[in-house]
Structure 1
Amino acid sequence: MDLEILRRALACLEPAADAGRDLDAALARLLGALAGMPGLASAAVVLADADNPPAIRAQIGSPDVSLLLEAALERGAAGAAPRVLRRGLPPVLADAKGAVDLPREAAAMLAAPIFAGEDMPGGWLFADGLADGDASLPDALRGLTVLAEAVAVLVRATCVSLARNRDLARETVFLRSKVSLRYRHVFAEGASPLLEPLRAAVDKMAQSDAPVLLLGEEGSGRGVLSRLIHELSPRAVRLFSVFDPAEGEHPDRRLFGVSRGIDRPGVPGCIEETDGGTLLIEQAHLLPPALVERLARFLAEGAFARVGGTRRRMSRTRLLFSAPPQGLAPELAAVAAMAVIRVPSLRERPEDIPILLDHLLSLESARDARRLSLTPKALKALEAYDWPGNIREMRELVSRLAVTAPEDRIDIADIPPEMLAEGERPQVLPEDAAELRDMERQQVLSALTRHGWVQSRAARELGLTLRQIGYRIRKYGLAREGHDDAENV
């Protein structure tokens, strides 16, 4: 009988490793596994800790609650030994060998202590019996003690798992806040009056499950705001995916999946794979009519069928749509109460251009251990530029300047001429400019050759910094003979 009790108890210890289960669920599972034991009609686990009074955490049958709680409040030696509970009479404690001198019919309930460990809840396991009528009371009490030890293992394992989960949850919240701050920055700081209502709309939409339509120009930050809405929402622990109907063939199959057939396996689509998370549909204005109809049905019903199939599948994927200012197809826009967020272009928030440039330059500086900055003349020129590619164009420019600018101080000569006003563009070089470039190239190559391609020595001879000579090596595509690239010494 002891072996059978132990077998059933051990079979229930595995769920404790499941981080998704709480302690009460794990205890209920354990007691449920014992429900078929002979002689057992009711049982309960009562736990208490330093902060909480004794409480029944799991039970089967209908145990006498007043009898259990009275016994659970017992302190001293009587509260630390297996015992037999009797109605209207004091309990009888088992001796050191677990024996009690009582007839079976005198027992109302059996009790065995649960020692889970320091800083963990302990308590009692109660049962009205764990053996058939032929078993003695001491045998039943010893069986309950074995089971109580298994319960203690379960309590310890589950508490450790839950503590680990809490630490992980705190870490997730912390990392989520860091991610959110990274995405938020391009809209968090700035002097534009357009930003405050935009931030409020994002915060509001993060707490909603309604579909959202983000309208704005290419590169204005619609994708950034979509990711931010996801990261600030309870869905942040789930997947964030992006779907572009213009990428690849069969957008309906990529979005809704393909049903299984005789000659093909079933394949899930983006909506199925992102269940519980957030799916951003980019270029939503390019959705073909048949796909618009499918999406409208999904938004209305919360269910869909894979392409080629009829089985309806539920999905809790939240949809965000990104489209240009003119908006979506009327069929899709009208099907759901879709919240609309209008994302301003960079032209509409010119006062934020210096802040954004400074932020992007600081990111590049941290990445390359440089202190990149703009001269006043270069900054003025970039403030005057109309930025048709918006924030994306600005990010690409800064990344390019971090590589091509010979000095940490970026001047107007480093900025691509097409981004400058007519009067700010450098003068066109004379017709013999090619000859001058050849002369400079040969001068740098000769100095490198003389100094065995030690760039620091060649730079000193030419009166250049290491960064300047490195810029010229890249500019002219110079390479040491027998090497693919110049040595950077």
Structure 2
Amino acid sequence: MEKMKKIFDNAYFTNILNAISDGILIADGKGEVLWLNRACENLANTSRSKVIGQTADILEKQGVFMPSVTKMVLNKQNTVSTVQLTDQNRKYITSGHPIKNEQGKIELIVAHARDITEIVRTNSQLEEAQALLKRYTQEIMKIRYENDLAASEHFFMGKSPAYLTLINMVDKIASTETTVLITGETGVGKNVIANRIHQLSERSHEPFVEINCGAIPETLIESELFGYKKGAFTGANSGGKAGLIKMADKGTLFLDEIGELPIHLQAKLLQFIQHKKFLPIGGTEHQMANVRIIAATNNDLLQQVQEGKFRSDLFYRLNVLPIRVPSVKERKMDIIDLLQFNLEKYNKKHKRHCRLSSDVMNRLQSYDWPGNIRELENLVERLVIIAAHDEIRLEDLPSHLQTQEKLVFNLNKYEKGKSLTDILETIEREIIEEAYSEFKTTRKTAEELGITQSLLMRRVRKYKMKLRE
């Protein structure tokens, strides 16, 4: 060992090591310090004389090196890397390298330390800057989205507590990648909410693909969603077809009316959500797609689960971030603003200068709007088109809105022992039958009831009603 100590007396050798900005420390096979360069003195905030001759164990106890990489090398008999702290609250990435003789015994340990305090601080500042940039970017996208909506035909606005709570929830959810389930009555604007989530997310520049699971026949929906390979079935496109999932890659797939998805396809959708892979019809190899799923329904999915019409595992996979969109009757204080906005929009579209009389405004504000936002928009456009004068009066309203008759409900007319659900279904059927007998067509009936024609036809099938156009 005396021979080794003489090596460190070589000025040429020590000048080279002292020129290095990283700390260098050399110890013997027992952990006793033989030599260290000036950089190592600085990082340890001590002098060479207080370190040379001391063992790694003692230096660690004194807090000079915490932990001692030399001691770790002796314990593991191999190269070790660690982060060391000094009494000056500085951080160093330190590696200890054993030098062994022919018998495999450690003769020397060379420790190399590099100051990473500034790097760690810079990375921390960078992470904070990135988080701030992400927040600013989301705010900019929000402003841009609101400006786009101002000129949109589907503007969704309000200041009621129910609406503000909804928008606050949506804005928080938008920055995540988690699956979202939107619930609410028909016509409340579930598709608008889904689009807002996409536009405020990091996927905003990627595709937003929408599919209505209740509007596509069962025989076609699988091929629409997952696509198919060449020759998969009779009548298939000769070159195959990419499904909507593949088209939404890197973007968002909005599955509207998810409760109408056939149960035999629910397992396939579940597999895709879990593993981000799917098998096209007629395919033998799975395909991958990075897609965020947003689903929406006006059905009670939990009830459908209990009835065996919807898979429970799919329901809980979709229901990670549930959002309920309030109906218009829950947002009474928003109705005036919604009416005025749509009035301006359709006045401009149809080159009119209509205004709502105070009587009409009061009547429409007290109305329950079973068709929600969609019904409100449709009614305002209809009034703008058919009104004989610039002032829209009560006589311009549809017949069911012209008078406010008090509803007299006689429970005795319904069979005793029936549940509330059964009674409500009976009432719904009676309303549909009465409206159809007056308006004669399903399109006109749906319009007057403030619902979509597809929703009306689902009710007709549910109650096994026989309506003839």
Contact 2:187–2:375 at 8 Å: present in 1 too? yes
So what's the TM-score if we normalise by structure 2?
0.50
Helix, strand or coil at the partner of 1:234:
coil
8 Å CA contact 1:215, 1:323 repeated in 2: yes
Label 1:326 to 1:423 Cα distance change in 2 as closer, same or farther (>3 A).
closer
Residue 371 in structure 1 maps to residue 339 in structure 2: no
Which SS does the other structure have where 1:335 is aligned? helix
Secondary structure of the residue aligned to 1:237 is coil
CA distance in 1, matches of 2:317, 2:201: 24
User: Letter of the aligned partner of 1:307 in structure 2?
Assistant: I
Is the Cα–Cα contact under 8 Å of residues 382 and 420 in structure 1 kept in the other structure? no
For residue 423 of structure 1, report the CA deviation from its aligned partner: 5.2
Whether contact under 8 Å (1:246, 1:286) holds in the other structure is yes
Write the letter of the residue equivalent to 1:386. D
Shift of 1:308: 2.0
1:218 aligns to 2:192 (yes or no): no
The Cα offsets for residues 402-440 of structure 1, whole Å up to 9 and x where unpaired, read as 11011221111111111233459xxxxxxxxxxxxxxxx
Q: Aligned residue for 1:194?
A: 162
How far apart in 2 are the matches of 1:172 and 1:229?
Answer: 11
Cα drift, residue 248 of structure 1: 3.2
Shift, 1:213, TM fit? 0.5
- Is contact 1:180–1:231 with CA below 8 Å preserved after alignment? no
Matched residue, 2:148: 179
Residue 390 of structure 1: how far off its partner (Å): 0.4
Choose from 284, 290, 299 the match for 1:316: 290
**Of 250, 261, 264, the match for 2:231:** 261
Write the mapping of 1:8-19 to structure 2, written as runs, cut at 5 A. none
What's 1:346 paired with? Answer: 328
- Following TM superposition, by how much is the alpha carbon of 1:266 offset from its aligned partner in structure 2, in angstroms? 1.9
TM-superposed deviation, 1:310: 2.6
Of 180, 188, 202, the residue aligned with 1:234 is 202
CA contact (8 A) 1:183 1:224 kept: no
CA gap of 1:420–1:403, structure 2 versus 1, over 3 A, is same
- Closer, same or farther in 2 for the Cα pair 1:286/1:388, shift >3 Å? same
Superimposed CA distance per residue, residues 220-253 of structure 1 (whole angstroms, 9 cap, x where no aligned partner): 1111111111122222212212111232332111
User: TM-score, structure 1 length as denominator?
Assistant: 0.48
Q: 1:179: how far off?
A: 2.3
CA offsets per residue over residues 311-351 of structure 1, 9 Å max, x none?
Answer: 11111121111101513632311235621000001111112
- What letter is aligned with 2:180? V
Partner SS state of residue 253, structure 1: helix
1:392 corresponds in structure 2 to 374
Q: Go from structure 1 to structure 2 and tell me whether the alpha carbon gap of 1:336 and 1:404 turns closer, same or farther (over 3 Å shift).
A: closer
Determine if contact 1:188/1:199 at 8 Å carries over to the other structure.
no
Match in the other structure for 2:250: 276
CA distance 1:225–1:184, shift in 2 (3 Å): farther
Identity of aligned residues (%): 31
Q: Deviations over 1:374-420 (max 9, x none)?
A: 10101111112111100000000011111101122111111111123
Deviation of 1:184 after TM superposition, in Å, equals: 11
Output the amino acid matched with 2:376: M
Residue identity opposite 1:406 in structure 2 = A
CA RMSD of aligned residues (A): 2.8
Q: Distance in 1 between matches of 2:200 and 2:153?
A: 10
- Compute the displacement of 1:262 (Å): 7.6
Relative to structure 1, the CA distance from residue 326 to residue 174 in structure 2 (aligned partners, 3 Å threshold; closer, same or farther) is closer
SS at 1:344's partner residue? coil
Q: Quick one: distance in 2 between partners of 1:342 and 1:175?
A: 25
1:358 offset after TM fit, Å?
A: 0.7
Q: State the one-letter code of the partner of 1:385.
A: Y
Contact 1:300-1:336 within 8 A present in 2 as well: no
- 2:387 counterpart (391, 405, 409): 405
User: Is 1:301 aligned with 2:270?
Assistant: no
SS of 1:238's partner is: coil
Measure the CA separation in 2 of the matches of 1:302 and 1:173. 28
CA distance in 1 between partners of 2:212 and 2:168 (Å): 27
For residue 210 of structure 2, give the secondary structure of its aligned residue in structure 1: strand
Letter in 2 for 1:178: N
The 5-angstrom pairing of residues 450-465 of structure 1 reads none
Contact map agreement 2:181 2:294 (CA 8 A) in 1: yes
Q: Which residue of 2 is the match for residue 290 of structure 1?
A: 264
Query: For 1:346 and 1:353, how far apart are their aligned partners in 2?
Result: 7
Q: Is the 8 A contact 2:156 2:192 kept in 1?
A: no
Give the alignment partner of residue 331 of structure 1, picking from 306, 309, 313: 313
**Matches of 2:232 and 2:294 in 1, distance apart?**
35
- Structure-2 change in CA distance of 1:262 and 1:358 (3 Å): closer
CA shift in 2, pair 1:343/1:183, >3 Å = farther
Once the two structures are TM-superposed, the CA of residue 217 in structure 1 deviates from its matched residue by: 0.4
CA distance 1:397–1:336, shift in 2 (3 Å): closer
Question: Which aligned pairs between 1:22-37 and structure 2 lie closer than 5 A?
Answer: none
Q: CA deviation at 1:174?
A: 7.7
Tell me the equivalent position of 1:84.
none
Q: 4+ residue runs of structure 1 moved beyond 4 angstroms?
A: 171-177, 180-187
Task: Give the partner amino acid of 1:279.
Answer: L
Q: Out of 181-190 and 288-297, give the one that drifted further.
A: 181-190
In the alignment, the residues of structure 1 paired with residue 301 and residue 204 of structure 2 have an alpha-carbon distance, to the nearest angstrom, of 27
Deviation at 1:187, TM superposition (A): 4.3
1:417 paired residue number: 399
State whether residues 267 and 314 of structure 2, in contact with CA within 8 Å, keep that contact through their aligned partners in structure 1.
Answer: yes
SS in 2 for 1:334: helix
- After superposition, the Cα gap between the structure-2 partners of 1:299 and 1:222, relative to the gap in structure 1 and judged at 3 Å, is same
